[in-house]
Amino acid sequence: MSAVFEFDEADLAITGGDHSDDDDDDGNHVSTPNGLESGYASENDTAEPTPISADERLYEVPLAEDFISSSVQESKRKHKKACKNDFDVLKVLGRGAYGKVSLCRHVETNRLYAMKVLKKASLFVHAKNAEHTKAEREILEEVRHPFIVQLMYAFQTNDRLYLILQYAMGGELFTQMAAEQMFSENVARFYIAELVLALEHLHSLGIVYRDLKPENCLLDGEGHVLLTDFGLSKQALGPDDKANTICGTAEYMAPEILMEMHYDKSVDWWTLGILMFEMLTGDTPFRANNKKKTLDAIQNKKLNVPYYVTNDGKDLLNRLLRKNPNGRLGSGNDGTKRVKSHRWFRKINWNDLKERKVTPPIIPVVVRFIFWFIKQRLTLLLSY
């Protein structure tokens, strides 16, 4: 299905006034019927926006132009415009401070998608909110990869932005990790390897992800990984470019970010190491009683890998979790190649994996959802 990105409203900047909201968009994550996992975390999981100074309060991002896809701007072909009426909203998957995510059905094709709705008024409370939303839209439009969630449509109304995303029926990887408590190395290897390919693709485009964690790793209906949530990602980094924004989730942040140093894609390999450690042990390696102690441990505590992890697994973890980013596995121009060549991955056929020829170790249970969906459709039909 070809992607269509169109926005129609001329003026998207919100500078003041009363922006009332007809929908009940406040509150926390909403659980789904019968304990069904939504596949999308509540937006409350997003890191808090950086407080802004008085001078920044008048900052505006010209979203009216920025939210029109470059492919649409440059193409002479006529694209069919998408709008809210093209979709039936079936159920709420998650809520957050800036909006909500709902399961929806495309009326014409009957396909299921995740509809992310963002309130413009909330986005413009802080300048960074608008920047993050703009960056996420641009990255999702640019990226096409089997292990990264796809943006299918984007449009807007007077007071909201709509992103129609690929629906991950298998839910969050976090849910599987919580259920299993610990993965075997064979299971962990599959997910880590798919994430290696996703990061490889992002880095080839000059994108540093910066927020790798179980909640941002979704599973499709077959059990393959879909990386999502690019609000904290950094674009347009060349081989020698560095970023300096302090962002991410505390337990997964690399030491150089906490030390307010300039950093590059090496931070993603650190977070991959944290995630791998969590899969194999059931916990992150530097978790402490409070956030301050956790951040201190990340910078100063020596990595302690449990005895039951294989020697190859220990070696990979120690290389990914080196506190010096220049010596970390994955750094440098050939970093990804060296990651993929590590002996812990010796059983991985990278070409077959990328082509989705490798059967996932865990097949998500989606039967309950299918029955629920059929029931909802029958109820609707009988009501006519």
Q: Is 11 within the bounds of a domain?
A: yes
Say which CATH number the domain at 111 has. Answer: 3.30.200.20
Q: What is the pLDDT of residue 88?
A: 93
Q: Are residues 134 and 11 in the same domain?
A: yes
- Is the domain of 300 the same as that of 322? yes
Percentage of the residues of the chain whose pLDDT score is greater than 70: 70
Q: Flag whether 382 is in a domain.
A: no
Residue 294's domain is classified under what CATH number? 1.10.510.10
Percent residues over pLDDT 90 in the chain: 47
Is 52 a member of any domain?
yes
Domain boundary, last residue among 117, 151, 166: 166
211 is an active site residue: yes
Q: Are residues 307 and 224 in the same domain?
A: yes
Structure tokens that stand for 133 in this block? 């939303």
Q: Calculate the average pLDDT of the chain.
A: 77
pLDDT grade, residue 236 (50/70/90)? Answer: low
Question: Among 32-46, 257-271, 272-286, 323-337, whose mean pLDDT is lowest?
Answer: 32-46
| Residue 33 confidence (pLDDT) | 30
pLDDT in tens, 290-334: 989 999 999 999 999 999 999 999 999 999 999 999 999 999 889
Q: Do 205 and 346 sit in the same domain of this protein?
A: yes
132 vs 217: which has the higher pLDDT: 217
Shared-domain flag, residues 139 and 181: no
Of these residues, 66, 211, 264, 268, which one is catalytic?
211
Same domain assignment for residues 203 and 286 = yes
pTM of the full predicted structure? 0.75
Do 159 and 178 reside in the same domain of the chain?
Answer: no
Last residue of a domain, one of 119, 143, 166: 166
Predicted confidence (pLDDT) at residue 186 exceeds the cutoff of 70:
yes
- Report whether 116 belongs to an annotated binding site: yes
Residue 376 domain-assigned? no
Range of the domain at 51: 4-166
Over residues 210-223, mean pLDDT: 92
Instruction: State whether 210 and 147 are in the same domain.
Output: no
Determine the pLDDT at residue 49: 30
Instruction: Kindly state whether residues 183 and 118 are assigned to the same domain.
Output: no
Last residue within a domain, chosen from 140, 166, 192: 166
Both 8 and 155 in a single domain?
yes
Q: How many domains does the chain have?
A: 2
What pLDDT, on the 0 to 100 scale, is given for residue 238?
Answer: 54
- Mean per-residue pLDDT, 136-141: 89
**336-354 pLDDT per residue, tens:** 999 999 999 999 999 999 9
pLDDT digits (tens, 9 = 90+) for 355-379: 999 999 998 876 455 556 656 666 6
Q: What is the pLDDT of residue 201?
A: 96
Q: Has residue 271 been placed in a domain?
A: yes
Whether residue 57 is predicted with pLDDT greater than 60 in this model: the reply is: no
Q: Are residues 29 and 140 in the same domain?
A: yes
pLDDT of residue 99: 78
Mean pLDDT throughout 133-157? 91
Same-domain status, 95 and 194: no
